[in-house]
Amino acid sequence: MPLALSLAQLNLTIGDLAGNIARMSAAARQAAATGAHIVIFPELSLTGYPPDDLLNEPAFLARLELALAELLDASRATPDLYWVAGAPTRRQGPGKALENSLLVLRNGKIVLQYAKQLLPTYDIFDERRYFEPGTETAAVLEIGGARIGFLVCEDAWNDREQDYPVNPLARLAAEKPDLVITINASPSNIGKREERHALLAAASRRHKLPIVYVNQIGGHDQLIFDGASFAVAPGPGETASVVFEATRFAEEIATLHFAGGKFSDANGKPLAPVPAAGLPAMAFYRRQIVLGLSDYARRCGFEKVVIGSSGGIDSALTLALAAEALGPANVVAITMPSRFSSAGSVDDSATLCDALGIRLFEHPIRDIVAAYEQGFSAAFDEPLKGLALENLQARARGTILMEYSNQFAALLLTTGNKSEISVGYCTLYGDTNGGLGLIGDLYKTEVFALSRHINEAAGRELIPNAIIDKPPSAELAPDQKDTDSLPPYPVLDTILKILIEGERLSAEERDIVKADYARLAETKSGAALIERIRRMIWKNEYKRRQAPPILRLRPRAFGNGRRMPIAAKYE
C-alpha cells in the first residue's frame, strides 16, 4: 500500500502559538480526510520562523511550554495520523537552553524528536544566538512499512561538505532510509527556488534517496517565504529530478503517494512535470513584494496604506504594487507640490491614481516651507539655502505623510530604491519616513523594468509612460535632475552590484556586471567614479541603518543581511 504524505505549506504567524496550532490542526484534519498517513509542517511551525529574541523572553518561553502540550493534545483529534512539526524545545547541560527541533507526534505522544545540527549564522540567519546544535545522529522512523529519515533545513544544505565539518544528510543516508523528509523555513530571493532544486536534486542523485522538502510561506517583517515545497527522486542511471512542486506564494496542502521509491498522485499516476525555470525576474519581484506587503500590513494591524506621490517612477511603482496587494480602496496617495515642482508632477500623479483607482489628495507645501525659511532666518540671522533647503522640503512632506498616518491609521510606505539608498540620495526624516519599504531592494534600473512589466501584464498603462520616460528628479531645486549628483543609473547600478553583492550575484548577472565593471575600471575617470561611489556607500551607512524595514528580494538585501559598522574607517 502506498504511503500518503500531506505537505502542509502554511502561512504561520511568528509568536501566535494558539493561531498556529489552530492552522496546523485544520491542515491535519484535511490531510486525514484524504487518507494521509503523515502531515508535514515547516520548520519551527509552532512559533513561526524566525522567532528571534522572543526566545529570550521568559513569558514567551512559559507560553511555549503550554503550547507544546496543546499541540500534543491537538494531535489526538487525528489518532492515526503522524504529525511532523517544528518547535523550540528545552535541553539540559551547558550551552544554549533550546534546540531547534523536529517532532513526530501521534495521538498525543512524541514518537521521535530530532534537534537540528547545523545552525546557520550567515546572511539573515542567526540561529546559534538561540539554539544549541543537536548531536550528530540520524533520526529514522518506520511508518506504513517505509523507513523515513528526518532533517531540518540547513542539515540538508551541506551535502557538498563546504560549509560545515558535519554532513547530517550523509550520516542519515548511511542508515538506508526509503525516504527523507526535511522541514524548512527557507526565505525567498531571486534565484533561490532554482538553487534549492539543484542542491536537493544533487543530494538525491548522490545518495539515491527520494527527498520531500516542505517550506514555510508568508511575509515576516523583511523576509518573504515563497513555499514552493517540492519532492525529488532518483531517476535512471545517475540522474535525479524534481517530480513535484507546490504552489508558489500561496498556502497549499498537497498529498503525494510514495511506493517503490517513486511518487505518484492518489490514483497511482505519475505527477505532472515540474518546469525547470521559475518565474521571470520581474514577475518574481512583483509576487514577492505583493505577498510581503499584504502579510506585513495584516500582521501589524493595518488595513490601509498612504504613499507620497511625487509624479516620479519610485512612488508610482510603490502605489501600483500597494494597490495590487491591498486593493485600490485601501491605498491613499498624497501629492505635495513645492515651488520647485513641475506641473507634470501633479498631473502625472493624477493620471496614475486615476488608472489605479486610488484616491489622490493634494497638500501643497509652499507656505509651510516659506514659514520655516522665515523662522530659520529670524533665529539664526542667515537665510536657509542649498542642501538644507532641499532637505527641508522632503522633511515637510514626510511630516505631512506621518500626520495622515497617525490621524487615519494608515501605514506609511517609503519609496526609496536600492540605488539611491546605497549612496545616501535620500533625506533622513523626510522621504525615508515610513513603516515599510517595498522597492528598497530594487536597483533603479529594476524599478523601470518592473514598472514596464506591470503595464505589460495589465495590457494598459497603469503606470503612465510619461512617468517611466521622464528623467528622474527629486524636484527640490530649479531644473534639478538625478544626474546632477549621480552617474546614469545603468552605470551606478553596475558599480553598486559589484560593491554590495559581488559574488552573491547569480552567475549570469555576475558575468555581465563584472565585464561592464572591468571596462569602467580600466579608465582613469571610471576608476575615480568607482572610488567615489564606494565612499558614498560608506559615508551613508548611518542613513541606511535608520531606514524602515525593506522587503528582501535579492541574495544580499538591504536589511539584516547586511551588517556594516557606522563609526569605522574604510580603506
Structurally, at CATH architecture level, domain 3-263 sits in 4-Layer Sandwich (3.60)
Q: Largest Cα–Cα distance in the chain?
A: 89
Between vectors from CA 340 to CA 417 and to CA 378, what angle results, nearest 5°?
Answer: 105
Q: Which of 84, 93, 82 is nearest to 44 (CA)?
A: 84
19-60 pLDDT, tens digit each: 999 999 999 999 999 999 999 999 999 999 999 999 999 999
In this prediction, residue 240 carries a pLDDT of 75
| Chain-centre distance for alpha carbon 441 | 10
Bridge partner residues of 234 (DSSP):
240
Q: Which of 15-24, 475-484, 506-515 has the highest mean pLDDT?
A: 15-24
First to last CA, the chain: 66
- C-alpha neighbours within 13 Å on the C-beta side of residue 505: 19
Bridge partner residues of 84 (DSSP):
40, 104
- Spatial contact of 179 and 146, defined as CB atoms under 8 Å apart: yes
171-198 pLDDT, tens digit each: 999 999 999 999 999 999 999 999 999 9
| Chain-centre distance for alpha carbon 428 | 24
Least reliable range by pLDDT among 208-222, 318-332, 440-454, 479-493: 479-493
Could you give the 3-state DSSP secondary structure of residue 365?
A: coil
Q: If pLDDT is split at 50, 70 and 90, which confidence band does 479 have? A: low
In this prediction, residue 571 carries a pLDDT of 67
Share of the chain above pLDDT 70, in %: 97
Give dist(CA 393, CA 333) in Å, integer: 18
Cell 505577498 identifies what position?
Answer: 291
Q: Which residues of 13-46 are buried (b: 16+ CB within 10 A; e: fewer)?
A: bbbbbeebbebbbebbebbbeeebbbbbbbbbbb
In this prediction, residue 307 carries a pLDDT of 98
As given in the structure block, the three cell numbers for residue 253 are 496542502
Q: What type of residue is 357? A: G
H/E stretch holding 99 reads strand 98-106
In this prediction, residue 133 carries a pLDDT of 97
Average pLDDT, rounded, for the chain: 93
In this prediction, residue 480 carries a pLDDT of 62
Q: Which of 376, 38, 63 is nearest to 178 (CA)?
A: 38
Catalytic annotation present for 324: no
In this prediction, residue 272 carries a pLDDT of 87
In this prediction, residue 341 carries a pLDDT of 73
H/E stretch holding 353 reads helix 343-356
Q: If pLDDT is split at 50, 70 and 90, which confidence band does 344 have? A: confident
* Radius of gyration for the alpha carbons in the chain, expressed in angstroms and rounded: 26
Catalytic annotation present for 426: no
377-427 pLDDT, tens digit each: 999 999 999 899 989 999 999 999 999 999 999 999 999 999 999 999 999
Torsion of CA 164, 169, 171, 172, to 10 degrees: 150
Region class of 93: left (phi > 0), else alpha (psi between -120 and 50), else beta: left
Q: If pLDDT is split at 50, 70 and 90, which confidence band does 556 have? A: confident
260-301 pLDDT, tens digit each: 899 998 888 888 889 988 999 999 999 999 999 999 999 999
pLDDT at 474 over 90: no
Structurally, at CATH architecture level, domain 283-480 sits in 3-Layer(aba) Sandwich (3.40)
In this prediction, residue 316 carries a pLDDT of 97
Q: What is the mean pLDDT of residues 531-558?
A: 90
Give dist(CA 343, CA 567) in Å, integer: 42
Between vectors from CA 541 to CA 539 and to CA 544, what angle results, nearest 5°?
Answer: 135
Q: How many residues does the structure list for the chain?
A: 571
Cβ count near 330 (within 10 Å):
17
421-457 pLDDT, tens digit each: 999 999 999 999 999 999 999 999 999 999 999 999 9
Torsion of CA 198, 202, 205, 210, to 10 degrees: -60
Q: If pLDDT is split at 50, 70 and 90, which confidence band does 338 have? A: confident
In this prediction, residue 473 carries a pLDDT of 65
- Which long-range contacts does 471-478 make (Cβ < 8 Å, 24+ apart)? 472/312, 472/313, 472/444, 473/312, 474/390, 474/394, 474/425, 475/310, 475/338, 475/340, 475/341, 475/342, 475/345, 476/338, 476/340, 476/389, 476/390, 476/391, 476/393, 476/394, 477/340, 477/390, 478/340
Give dist(CA 72, CA 46) in Å, integer: 11
In this prediction, residue 8 carries a pLDDT of 98
Least reliable range by pLDDT among 140-149, 247-256, 540-549: 540-549
Tell me which of 506 and 41 has the higher pLDDT. Answer: 41
| Chain-centre distance for alpha carbon 351 | 31
Out of 99, 127, 132, 153, the active site residue is 153
365-375 pLDDT, tens digit each: 999 999 999 99
User: Which residues have a Cβ under 8 Å from the Cβ of 233 and sit 6 or more positions away?
Assistant: 204, 210, 211, 240, 241, 243, 261, 262, 263
Q: What is the mean pLDDT of residues 88-103?
A: 96
Listed by start position, the domains of the chain span 3-263, 283-480
In this prediction, residue 530 carries a pLDDT of 95
As given in the structure block, the three cell numbers for residue 89 are 524545545
H/E stretch holding 90 reads strand 82-90
Task: Note the pTM of the prediction, 2 decimals.
Answer: 0.94
Give dist(CA 416, CA 317) in Å, integer: 11
Least reliable range by pLDDT among 11-15, 126-130, 388-392, 401-405: 388-392
Out of 99, 116, 154, 353, the active site residue is 116
Q: What number of H helices and E strands is found in the chain? A: 16, 20
In this prediction, residue 506 carries a pLDDT of 86
Catalytic annotation present for 43: yes
Bridging pattern class, strands 109-115 and 139-143: unpaired
Give dist(CA 262, CA 2) in Å, integer: 10
Q: If pLDDT is split at 50, 70 and 90, which confidence band does 564 have? A: confident
Could you give the 3-state DSSP secondary structure of residue 209?
A: coil
Share of the chain above pLDDT 90, in %: 82
Q: What is the mean pLDDT of residues 504-515?
A: 89
H/E stretch holding 362 reads strand 359-362
Q: What is the mean pLDDT of residues 125-141?
A: 95
